[in-house]
Amino acid sequence: MAFFARNKAAKRSGPSSHVSFLKYADYRWLKIAAGFSALTILIYALIDVEPRHSGNSWYGYTLGTIGAILILWLALLGWRKRSIKPGQWTLKSWVSAHVWLGVSLIVVATLHCAFQFGWNVHTLAYVLMMIVILSGIYGICAYTILPKQLSSNRGDMTQVEMLDNLRSIDRQLHDATQPLSTELANIIGASLNDDPFAGSILARLKNQYPSCPTQYAFETVGAASRSRATDNVDDIVRAAQLLSRKVTALSNIRRHLQLKAQLEIWLYFHVPVTFALIAALTAHVVSVFFYW
């Protein structure tokens, strides 16, 4: 029960609560990972033989075995996250160990291959591992920075309230369009039909929508309201004011979607590339023993 209560509280407080796992048990896993990395570097420096060791020396095999086991263990986090297991190895300590030991893999794998890279399956496994690690580091930075920006952009509103506000402006805009000319009504109609969730993932990440019908309607109706060349100018001014409110509401929603996309995008690399890494790692290990 206490576990569920903790889990609920963590969900309420959002991704920023993730960040505390970095400091878990007074940085226990940072200290272990740093100590282990320092030891491997020291041993590497002390084995002063010519030619320098490579992946198939005793040192290379030792680090290779440690690295492969570590990768498989790191990949098990997906399973651990989904299984509820209170006890000494809490999810927080798993994630803390995952992050710090994951970073130490850079040292382990680089010294395992002794800086020997080429166009082969061994380097492919190394590159995929680096993609997973770098995406993880990005994820940590995103969890640290973005939740604060998300809540300051949202103000007191939830995502549902932001969308309700947009729909309410749309309803008023729909009514305000009735007395306008067909040309202006069509331009505003395109904005009313515009889905705030539409657009490519790139547009969402960059928060750039160059052919936004709402922005176009705002500029065109705004210009018409300033020209005062027609007799229903009050109706045009009213529509322009509503469009101005819509532009603001839409830009808040789009900023919200941008921050959420930035917060989630790394997992789309981290998890699938983990599977590719395990496949490349298997090919790497099999080929090493096949040609032995």
H, E, C per residue of the chain: CHHHHHHHHHHHHCHHHHHHHHHHHHHHHHHHHHHHHHHHHHHHHHCCCCCCCCCCCHHHHHHHHHHHHHHHHHHCHHHHHHCCCCCCCCHHHHHHHHHHHHHHHHHHHHHHCCCCCCCCHHHHHHHHHHHHHHHHHHHHHHHHHHHHHHHHHHCCCCHHHHHHHHHHHHHHHHHHHCCCCHHHHHHHHHHHCCCCCCCCHHHHHHCCCCCCHHHHHHHHHHHHHHHCCCCCHHHHHHHHHHHHHHHHHHHHHHHHHHHHHHHHCCHHHHHHHHHHHHHHHHHHHHHHHHCC
19: contact with ligand HEM by CB under 6 A: no
Shorter beta-carbon distance to ligand HEM: residue 69 or 286: 69
Among the listed ranges 3-11, 130-138, 222-230, 279-287, the one in contact with ligand HEM (CB under 6 A) is 130-138
Whole-number minimum distance, CB 38 to ligand HEM, in Å?
18
Identify the residue among 66, 140, 265, 279 touching ligand HEM (CB under 6 A): 140
Whole-number minimum distance, CB 141 to ligand HEM, in Å?
9
Shorter beta-carbon distance to ligand HEM: residue 90 or 244: 90
- Binding mask of the shown chain, residues 214 to 253, with x at each position contacting ligand HEM by CB under 6 A: ----------------------------------------
Shorter beta-carbon distance to ligand HEM: residue 84 or 229: 84
Among the listed ranges 2-10, 69-77, 211-219, 221-229, the one in contact with ligand HEM (CB under 6 A) is 69-77
274: contact with ligand HEM by CB under 6 A: yes
85: contact with ligand HEM by CB under 6 A: no
Identify the residue among 112, 254, 270, 284 touching ligand HEM (CB under 6 A): 270
Contact by Cβ (8 Å): 123, 117: yes
102: contact with ligand HEM by CB under 6 A: yes
Residues of this chain that bind ligand HEM (CB under 6 A): 18, 71, 74-75, 77-78, 81, 95, 98-99, 102-103, 105, 129, 132-133, 136-137, 139-140, 270-271, 274
